[in-house]
Chains A and B, each alone.
Chain A
C-alpha cells in the first residue's frame, strides 16, 4: 500500500487557482523531493496534506486512509515539520515533545518511552530540560523532527525544513532524514527549492504554476529533460511550460 496517494487534487483561492489536477503517489520507504519555484503551490499542497485547508476537489490518502472520510487514522500516520518553527520557545525541549504526544492521545507510559527514544535518536537527551529559545536553528529543527516522529508516523512531511540553516546543518539534516528513510522504512516528502538537496535515486516531483509538470526518478527525469537536474528544472519551470 502506498504511504501517500494524491489524486486529481485541485484548489483555488477564490478565482485564483493554486493547484490543478495534481496526482502522485509515494511508496513506503521512499524519499521524494517536491521541487518548485516560489508560488508553485507547494505551501497550498502542504496545507491540504496537513488538514489546515479543507479539500475542494480530489482526494488525499495517507496509508490508504482518506483524509476526507477517515481523517483520524490518516493523521495518525502523518508526521510534519513545518517551514516556520512551530515550537513553543519558552517551553523546554521535553515539554514541547510531551505536548505533541498529548495531542496524539499517547498514554503517559507511551509518552515516556517515545520521548526517551526520540531524544536519544536526535542526541538531545542531555539537553531535554533546556528551553527551545536557547537552541540554535539546527538543534531546533532536530527537536521538530523528534516531535514529528513521536507518534511513529509512516509518512514524514518536511516543508522547506532546511530554510535558515547553515550549509553544514542543511547537509546533516538531509542525510539524517535519508537514514530514517532507509532504516525505519519511513516515507518522506521533502519540499524544497534547492536543487542540491535532491539525489539521483530520489523520487522527484516538480510543481509549477499549480501543476505537476514532471514526476519520476530524479536521474531519469534529468536525462529526459536536458541532461542535468538544473537544466531540466529550468526547462520545466520556465513560464508557459505548464500550459
Chain B
C-alpha cells in the first residue's frame, strides 16, 4: 500500500514542480478565460440580461453568470491538452518512464489523471481570485464547496480527453481537438447562456445542450459556487467520470499510436 502512496505522491509532486517551473504556461492558460470575462462578458452585458434562475436568488450581471463556465473552460482545455500529450509524442518520453514503474498501468494512468486535475484546480482558483478582484464574488462557502465539484469535472474531462485521444486518429493535433471537441462542448452548453435562452432560439439546439456532459459539469460547479446541490448534474458527472476513466484505461495502448504511424 505504501508503494502505491509513494508512487502517487511522486506523480503529484512532479506535476506540481512542472507547474511551478513553467510559469508562462500557467499564465497563458489564464489569459483565455480572462479575455472572455473582461472583454467578451463586458461587451455582452448590455445585450444579455439574465432573469432570476437557479441557483441565483436575484437578477445577475452577465459576468456573474459566465464565471462557472469559464472555470470549467480552464479544466476543459487542460484536460484535453494533458491527455493528448499522454498519448502522442510530445510527452512520450515521460510516459515511457511512467510505464516502467512496476505498479499496475491502471493505477499509473489514474494517478496521472488525478495529479493533472489537482494542478488544474490551482489555475481555476487563480482565475476565481482575479474574478473576485474584478468584482464577481460568490460566497466564501461556495468557493469551498465548489472544490470537490471542480475536481470531479477536471477528472471527467481529463478521462474524456484520454479516451478520445486513444480512440480517434484525427485528434493527433490540438487544432483538431479545438474544432471537434472543445468548441462543440463549450458552445453547446450552459457555459455562455442559460438553456432557456437557447430554447427560445431553437428547440433542437436546446436539446443538444441539455444532453451535453459539459452542461452538467458547468451546472454542478454553478450550483456548488452558490451553496446549492444539483443531484442530476452530480449523478451525470460522477457516472460519466467512471465510464470515461474505465474506457480510457482499457483503450490506452501506446502501440496503437505506433500502429497508426506504421499504417
Contacts and interface: CB of A to CB of B under 8 A. Distances in A.
Interface stretch (B13-21, B202-210, B213-221, B231-239): B13-21
Contacts of A76: 102
B102 to A, nearest CB: 4
Nearest to A148: B100
Interface in A32-75: 47, 50-54, 71-75
B255 A102 contact: no
B2 A88 contact: no
B168 interface: no
Contacts of A101: 6, 10
Contacts of A167: none
A78 interface: yes
Contacts of A88: 14, 17-18, 94
Contact of A75 (B4, B18, B101, B254): B101
A49 to B, nearest CB: 10
B86 to A, nearest CB: 13
Interface string A115-138: 000000000000000000000000
B9 A75 contact: no
Given A13-B262, A14-B263, A53-B255, A102 B96 contact: no
Interface residues of B, number: 34
Given A16-B262, A99-B13, A101-B10, A73 B253 contact: no
Given A51-B99, A98-B10, A102-B13, A85 B22 contact: no
Choose among B2, B4, B6, B9 the residue with the greatest number of A CB atoms under 10 Å from its CB: B6
Nearest to A84: B93
A173 interface: no
Contacts of B94: 86, 88
Choose among A51, A84, A85 the residue with the greatest number of B CB atoms under 10 Å from its CB: A51
B255 A103 contact: no
B263 to A, nearest CB: 6
A194 to B, nearest CB: 22
Nearest to A86: B93
A74 B100 CA distance: 10
Interface residues of A, number: 36
Contact of B255 (A52, A78, A90, A99): A52
A198 B134 CA distance: 67
B98 A13 contact: no
Contact of B93 (A74, A78, A82, A95): A82
A95 B14 CA distance: 8
A105 interface: yes
Given A91-B14, A91-B21, A105-B4, A50 B99 contact: yes
Nearest to B22: A90
A76 B101 CA distance: 8
Contacts of A84: 93
A51 B101 CA distance: 10
Given A52-B254, A95-B17, A86 B7 contact: no
Contacts of A50: 96, 99-100
A28 to B, nearest CB: 20
B259 interface: yes
A239 interface: no
B96 to A, nearest CB: 6
Contact of B9 (A51, A72, A78, A102): A102
B39 interface: no
Contact of B253 (A54, A80, A102, A108): A54
Contacts of B258: 13, 47, 53
A54 B254 CA distance: 9
> Which 9 A-B residue pairings sit nearest by Cβ, starting from the closest?
A102-B10, A105-B3, A86-B93, A13-B262, A103-B101, A75-B102, A53-B255, A90-B21, A72-B102
Given A16-B262, A76-B102, A88-B18, 17 more contacts: A51-B105, A53-B254, A72-B103, A73-B102, A75-B100, A75-B102, A78-B100, A80-B100, A82-B93, A86-B94, A90-B22, A102-B11, A103-B100, A104-B101, A104-B102, A105-B2, A106-B6
10 contacts: A54-B253, A75-B102, A78-B100, A80-B100, A91-B14, A98-B10, A100-B97, A101-B6, A105-B2, A106-B6
